[in-house]
Each structure stands twice: as structure tokens, then as C-alpha cells.
Amino acid sequence: MKLLLLSKILVLKLILMGISGGALYSQVQYLPHPDSRLWIEGSSNVNQFECVAREYNGDAIIRRDISGGVESLENDDQLSIRVEIHVEGFECGRSRMNRDLRNALKSSTFPTITFVFGNAVQSNSAPETNGAIRFEVSGILTVAGNSQNVTFELDGNFLDDGRIRVTGKKEIKMTDYDVEPPTGLFGLVRADNELTVHFDLYVLEENAN
């Protein structure tokens, strides 16, 4: 009876540790750092505008193969990333513009914009920052309840203080997500269909000091 119980405990431990096909995995979670910044830029028939995301959350989880003391990231199944942006948290500098953007993005029905990572490959193009590695990333972006496959480039840096910095941008069209570009002043001010999503994100290992 004791032997059977010990066997069950051992099996449970192996499952929790993520042993698969003889490989031993450790799981590391990374969370956003307060220095992060995420914003959108656009234009209208009268001006340009910028809206900063004040409320967002997300994480990145890496499962590292540590068999024999060697770490590797050999397949996309070992990396997961999810980011959620709260639409009500966008700050565009003017209360009326904030309201128009929230209405256009249907925030009462769809309160968040989400991005779910699909896969990544190292890019041949040069990164903008020295020491960075450029990747071409694909995933699913959901805006106002409509999901689209997207691809964009990002630059990643491992910083001396243990943080990881990720920068990049992605141009989107609002109508691709069934979003009508917002208007103001009885239609005299009309936002253009194109928006550029910018991100300058710092992430830190969850239990790091």
C-alpha cells in the first residue's frame, strides 16, 4: 500500500515538473515592469493624435529544457505570450477623444484588446538597437471582438539588470476589425482608418529581485 502511494506521488511530481520524452523542463514566468509603455498613433483630417494605454497586463512563460544542465528553446510550444489592453484605460489627452475612441472600439461590449502569441522566427533585417535580436512574430490580435492573424517585427534585448526589453510596432486598419474610424464635431473631424500600435515593454522574471 505504501509502495503504491509512493509510486503515485512520484508520477505526480514527474507530471508537475514537465518531464516529456526524457527532457526535464523548468518554467519561468515574466511579468511587465512599470517602465513599460504601450501606445497608438493615428491621424485625422485636422491633426495627429497619440493615445497611451494606462491599463494593460500580460505575461510570458518560457519552458526551458534543462536536461543535462543545458537550456534550450527549440520549439514554439515552449513559449507562450498573452497581452491584454483595457480600452477604458486609453488616454488621448482630451476627454472627448477618449470617449470617441472607446465608443469606436465598443468598450462596453468588448473591454479589452488582446494579443496571443503564435510563433516567432529570427529576422534577417537589422535591429534598430545595438545588441538586440530581431524577430518576426505572428499571433492573433483581437479588437472589438474581431480576431485577425497578424505578423510584425520586434527587437529583444537582455539588459544587465535582468530585465528583457521588447520594442516594435504594428500598423493596422480599424475597418479590418469592423471598427468605424471615430468622428467628432458632427462629422467635421474624421480619423483616418490606419493606426500604428507601438510598444516598448520591459519584463522581469516573476521572482527576480
Helix (H) or strand (E) holding 14: helix 2-17
Tell me the pTM: 0.75
Q: Is there a domain that residue 172 lies in? A: yes
Q: Is there a domain that residue 130 lies in? A: yes
Encode pLDDT of 135-188 as tens digits.
888 999 999 999 999 999 988 888 888 888 888 999 999 999 999 887 765 455
Q: Is there a domain that residue 13 lies in? A: no
Encode pLDDT of 75-130 as tens digits.
444 567 888 999 999 999 988 889 988 999 999 999 999 999 888 888 877 777 67
Q: Is there a domain that residue 97 lies in? A: yes
Q: Is there a domain that residue 147 lies in? A: yes
> For residue 39, what is the domain's CATH number?
2.40.128.110
Q: Is there a domain that residue 98 lies in? A: yes
Q: Is there a domain that residue 8 lies in? A: no
What domain range is 36 assigned to?
Answer: 24-205
If one counts the domains in the chain, the total is 1
Query: CA dist 155 to 80, 107, 133, Å?
Result: 17, 30, 5
Q: Is there a domain that residue 11 lies in? A: no
